[in-house]
Structure 1
Amino acid sequence: MTHDTSQQPGSGRAGQPHLLYVAWGFPPCRGGGVYRALATANRFAEQGWRVTVLTAERDTFIRFTGADPTLEDRVDPRVEVVRVPFDWPIHEANLRNWSRFRATRPKAWAKLRSRRDQLPFPEVGYGPWRGVIEGAAERIHAADPVDLVVATANPHVAFTAAWKLHRNHSVPYVMDYRDAWLLDVFSGDRLHDERSRAARWERKLVDAAHEVWFVNDPIRDWHRDLYPAHAGKMHTVANGFDAELAPAVHDRGPVGDRPLVFGYIGTVSPKVPLKEFVEGWQLARSQSPDLDGAEAHIHGYLGFYAQPRVDMLATINSAADDGLSYQGPVGKTDIGKVYDGLDVQLLILGAGRYVTSGKVFEYLATGLPVVSVHDPINAASDILRGHPLWFPVTDLQPESVARALADAAHAAHTADEQTRRAAREFGARFRRDLQLDPRIAALRSAIAPAGAPAPEVTAP
C-alpha cells in the first residue's frame, strides 16, 4: 500500500527536509511498537517534513502476526509508504511450501536456517532483510535525496538501511530503540558478549549515529554507561499517548453501587504474570464487598501471534466463575468504546527495572484508577508515581494483588471530583507529541539548510 503525496519525489519546497523512516512494523501491523512508529511518521509530516516510510509488505502482518487494518486510516496522507518483501520461512504453515529436507528433518532445517539468517546480519529471522531494505533505501535516496533517516527497532536490522545511506552519502541518522539490543529489559542481564557480532554492530552504529532514542531513563542510562563517549547523543523519547487515538477524557463520576468492570488492554506476553493476577483476582472477589459482582475483561492478543496461546486462555477460563473473561483483540479505532466501559484499568506487566510499556500512557489518559500488577521496580512505576488513583502491588503474592484490587475498587466507588480531576491532569502530561516535538525541533535545526526558516510547531 502506498500513500500518494502532494509533493512528488524531488519536488519538495525549499526548507522542507526529506525523512526516511525505517520500521519493520507499520500499519496494518498490530504489534505494540506500531503505535510509536505511526505517531512518529505522522508527527514529522505534521511538522513540515516530507516523509517516506520503508516497511514490510502488508501480507507479512496479515499472515504471521495479525493485522489491524483500522490503523492504516490513521497514516497521514502526506506520508508515502514504500513496502518491500519480507520472507519469514520459519513461520510458513503451508506444508506445500516446505522443502523435502524441512519436512523430513525439521530440527536440522531450523538450525541451518538460523545460521543462514545471521550471515547478512546477526538477527535470527530478520538478517536476510538487510539487503532488501538497503537496496530500497538507495533507490529512495536516488529519486528524492534523503536529509535524515530515523530507523526504529526491533528488529534491529532496520538500522542497516540508515547505516547504508550514512556510509555512502553521509546522511545523518537516528537510532530509535523500543527496548534494547544488548540488554534483556526483563532480567537486566546482558544478552550478547562484547565480542559478538551484535555488539560490534551496535558499537559501529552508535558511533556514527546523530542521535539515539530510548523509551525510558533506565534503558538510556544503561547505554550511557556502556558508551560514555556518546552519552550526549542519547535521549529519552517516551512513548506517551496519541491524542487522536486516546480514550475520551471526561469525568465519569463515582461508580456508585453497581458492579465494577476491570479491564486489561494489550498483548499478553509470556512475561506477563497472568497466573498471579488470576489468583489475586479470585481472592479479592471472595473477600472484598467492593468487588461483589465485579468482572474483569482481558482485551488483546494472547501471545505474539494471531492464534491465542492455549495455556493463557486456559488460565483465564479457570476463573470464569469469578467474572474473568477473554474478550479477544480490539481495533485501535474501537478502543475508546472499551475504555468507556471500564471502571478500573489493569496494568499487568512482566518484571524488570527497564520495563515501561506504552500501554501505561494510554491508561493515564483516561484518569481512571490503575492497578499495577507487576514488580514494583519496573520503570512503569516511575511514570505512575504521584498518580492519585494508582494502586500498585507490593509483590506478586495473591494477598498483595487482592489488596490492590480491593483498594482500587473502593476508590472507583467513592473517589471525589477533586481526586478524579487530579488524575486526569496527571495523565495529560504524557501526550506523545510532547515527547516527540523537542527532538524533532532539534533535528530540524541540525540539518536545516543555511538560511532556511524553521517551521512553526503545530498543535496535534
Structure 2
Amino acid sequence: MNQARPHMLYVCWGYPPCRGGGVYRALATANRFAEQGWKVTVLTADKETFHRFTGADLTLEERIHPDIEIVRVPFEWPILEADLRKWSKSRAQNPKLWSKWRTKRDQIPFPETGYGPWRSTIEKAAEQIHQANKVDLTVATANPHVTFAAAYDLFKKFDVPYVMDYRDAWLLDVFSGDRLHEPNSRAARWERKLVKDAQEVWFVNDPILDWHKDLYPEHAGKMHTVANGFDPDLVPSTQDRGAVTDRPLVFGYVGTVSPKVPLGDFVKGWQLAKQQSDDLRDAKVKIHGYLGYYAQPRADMLAIINNAADDQVSYEGPVGKAEIAKAYDEFDVQLLMLGKGRYVTSGKVFEYLATGLPIVSVHDPMNAASDVLRGHPLWFPVKDVADPQTIADALIEAARAARTADEGIRAKAREFGASYRRDLQLDPRISALSERVGAVV
C-alpha cells in the first residue's frame, strides 16, 4: 500500500460529462473516497463518447473532486454510428445482416453487446495505471459489466482486491423479475467467478441484494446494499416553504423518461384530476429531463406531452445537475414515475426525499421504491397505475396536502428524507474497505 494514502482505481463507463442516470453514483463514489483521504484514479471513456451518443452535462465536470486523476480511453460504438460516410460497404448494403454480425462480434472478448470489445482497452489501461502507481483497491461499477473485467485482471495478475458495484443487475431483469441468462451461459460463468473472488459486492436495494444472496449463498457475507442516496449540495433547500395558498400548484418530474415509465397513463390520470378537484384546476405539470435514453427526444413521448398542453402539461427539456435545485424550487408536488418492477428503486427517489415536498408515486405498488418511501408522511402512492382514476385520486390527495400540510408534518418529511444522504450510504463500506486493505498489506 502507498505509505501516504491508499490508491483506489475506479472503473466506470459513464462518468462526467456523461449525463446517464448512473453517472451520479459514479461521481459521488469516487468523490467520497477522495474526501476520505484515498488517492483516486478514475478510468472511463473519452468525452467524445458522451457528446456523440448519450448527451453531455458539462456542469457535472465541475463537481469532480480536484484531487481525482481521470484517465480517459477510447470507446467505439459502431452500432450507433449515424454518419453514413463512416459505414462500411457491407453495412450499407445490408444493415440488418451487419447488425447481427456486429452483435456476435462484440461478445467474443466479453459477453456484452456493444461493450465487449472495450475489455482489452480498459484492461491495458488499468495495468498501466497500476504499474505507474500501485493500486490498493479497484472498484468497478456496472453497467456495462465489462468494467468488472478490468478489476478481475488486476486481481489475477497483481492480487489487487476489487469491489463489484451494481446499479441494476446482470442476470436479473429488474422490471420483469425474470432471469436474463441461463446458468451455463458465458455471462453467468463470468459472474460466478467474479463474485467468488470479489472483496465485496454492492447492490442498490434490498430486493436485488436478496435475489443474489439466494443465487450465491456461499458468498452472501460479502454482499451489501449501498443505496444511491442524495447529494446534499445538489438538492434544493429543505427549509419549510409552508402551505401553498395563493397561486396555482406546480407538479414536477426530473429524470430520464424511459419507455418503461407510464407517461401516457399519468396524463390520463392528470386530466381526470383537473376535472375533479378545484385545487388542480389551474395546476401545471413540468417534466424535466430526457425523453428516452439518447439526446434526441423520442417522438412518441413528446407527442403525449404536447397533446396534453391544454391541460398545462409541458416538457422543459434536460436540466444540468448543477441547476437542478432551481427546477425543484418551482415544485409544490413531486411526481415519481417509474417502470414496473419489484427490483426497481431509481436514484431519483432519494433526491425527492431530500426536499420534504409531497411525492406522488406513479408506479406499481410492488416496486422497491415503495419500500424506501413507506412511512413518509407526505407520500401518496397510486394503487393501480393502469387505472387513471387511482392516479387522479393520488394527485388530488397530494394537492390537498400541498395546500394544507402544517409545519409539523413538513418537518417530519424532511427528517425522514435526511437519513438517505449519499455519504451515509457510502461511509460504512469505505471504512470497512480501508481496514481490510490495511490489514492485507
Shorter-normalised TM range: over 0.9
Letter in 1 for 2:170: W
> Partner of 1:428 in structure 2?
418
Distance in 1 separating the partners of 2:120 and 2:348: 33
8 Å CA contact retained: 1:117, 1:124? yes
Deviations 1:209-238 (Å, cap 9, x if unpaired)? 000000000000000000000000000000
Asked if residue 274 in structure 1 is aligned to residue 263 in structure 2, the reply is yes
Matching of residue 199 in structure 1 with residue 199 in structure 2: no
Q: 1:139 aligns with which of 128, 139, 155?
A: 128
Counterpart in 2 of 1:410?
A: 400
Taking the TM superposition and a 5 Å limit, the aligned residue runs for 1:314-333 are 314-333=303-322
Q: Which amino acid aligns with 1:304?
A: Y
Q: Name 1:94's counterpart in structure 2.
A: 83
SS in 1 for 2:75: coil
SS in structure 2 opposite 1:78?
Answer: coil
Task: Say which of 346, 360, 367 aligns to 1:378.
Answer: 367
The reply to whether residue 35 of structure 1 matches residue 36 of structure 2 is no
Structure-1 residue corresponding to 2:432: 442
Cα pair 1:241 1:362 within 8 Å, conserved: yes
Q: Give the AA of the match of 1:60.
A: T
Equivalent residue letter for 2:215 = L
Aligned partners of 2:219, 2:11: CA distance in 1, in Å? 22
1:269-418 equivalences under 5 Å are 269-396=258-385, 397-418=387-408
Aligned twin of 1:187: 176
The one-character-per-residue Cα deviations of 1:58-81 (angstroms, maximum 9, x if unpaired) are 000000000000000000010000
Q: Which amino acid is the alignment partner of residue 422 of structure 2?
A: R
Q: For 2:35, give the aligned amino acid.
A: E
Quote the RMSD (CA, aligned, Å). 1.0
CA distances 1:125-158 after superposition (whole Å, capped 9, x unpaired): 0000000000000000000010000000000000
TM-score of the superposed pair, with normalisation by structure 2: 0.99
Is residue 234 from structure 1 mapped to residue 223 from structure 2 by the alignment? yes
Residue 248, structure 1, aligned to residue 237, structure 2 = yes
- Matches of 1:406 and 1:129 in 2, distance apart? 49
Distance 2:438 2:62 in 1: 31
User: Superposed, which structure 2 residues align to 1:156-175 within 5 Å?
Assistant: 156-175=145-164
Rounded Cα–Cα distance in structure 2 between residues aligned with 1:94 and 1:249: 46
CA distance in 2, matches of 1:364, 1:232: 30
Once the two structures are superposed, the pairs formed by residues 72-83 of structure 1 within 5 Å of their partners are 72-83=61-72
CA distance in 2, matches of 1:116, 1:66: 26
Cα offset for 1:257? 3.7
Which AA in structure 2 matches 1:219? I
* Sequence identity (%): 72
Q: How far 1:243 sits from its partner (Å)?
A: 1.1
Match of 2:117 in 1: 128
d(CA) in 2 for partners of 1:78 and 1:366?
Answer: 30
Q: Give unpaired runs (5+ residues) of structure 2.
A: none
Shift of 1:15: 4.9
Q: Distance in 2 between matches of 1:80 and 1:202?
A: 29
1:154 aligns with 2:143: yes
Query: Distance in 2 between the 1:404 and 1:230 partners?
Result: 42
Deviation at 1:449, TM superposition (A): 5.6
AA of the residue aligned to 1:418:
G
Deviation at 1:317, TM superposition (A): 1.1
Contact 1:264 1:345 survives alignment (8 Å): yes
Given the alignment of the two structures, is residue 221 of structure 1 paired with residue 205 of structure 2, yes or no?
no
Counterpart CA distance in 1 for 2:371 and 2:203 is: 15
> For residue 113 of structure 2, what is the amino acid of its counterpart?
V
Shift of 1:244: 1.5
**CA distance in 1 between partners of 2:29 and 2:233 (Å):** 14
Aligned with 1:212 (options 201, 212, 215): 201
- 8 Å CA contact retained: 1:15, 1:448: no
Residue from 257, 261, 264 that aligns with 2:250: 261
How far apart, CA to CA, are the structure 2 residues paired with 1:448 and 1:159?
23
| Conservation of the 8 A alpha-carbon contact between 1:15 and 1:449 | no
**SS of match in other structure, 2:285:** strand
- Deviation string 1:17-38 (CA, Å, 9 cap, x unpaired) is 0000001000000000000000
Structure 1 residues 381-430: Cα deviation after superposition (integer angstroms, max 9, x where no partner): 00000000000011111000000000000000010010011111110010
Match of 1:50 in 2: 39
TM-score (normalizing by structure 1): 0.95
Secondary structure (helix, strand or coil) at the match of 1:448 reads: helix
Q: How far apart, in 1, do the equivalents of 2:409 and 2:137 lie?
A: 44
Kindly provide the amino acid, as one letter, of the partner of residue 191 in structure 2.
E
Q: What amino acid is aligned across from residue 190 of structure 2 in structure 1?
A: W
Q: Secondary structure of the equivalent of 1:163?
A: helix
2:264 and 2:276 map into 1 onto residues whose CA distance is: 19
Secondary structure in 2 matching 1:357: coil
List, as ranges, runs of 4+ consecutive aligned residues in structure 1 with deviation greater than 4 Å. none
Amino acid in structure 1 at the alignment position of 2:433: L
Q: How many residues align?
A: 440
C-alpha distance after superposition, 1:130-187 (max 9, x if no partner): 0000000000000001000000000000000000000001110000000000000000
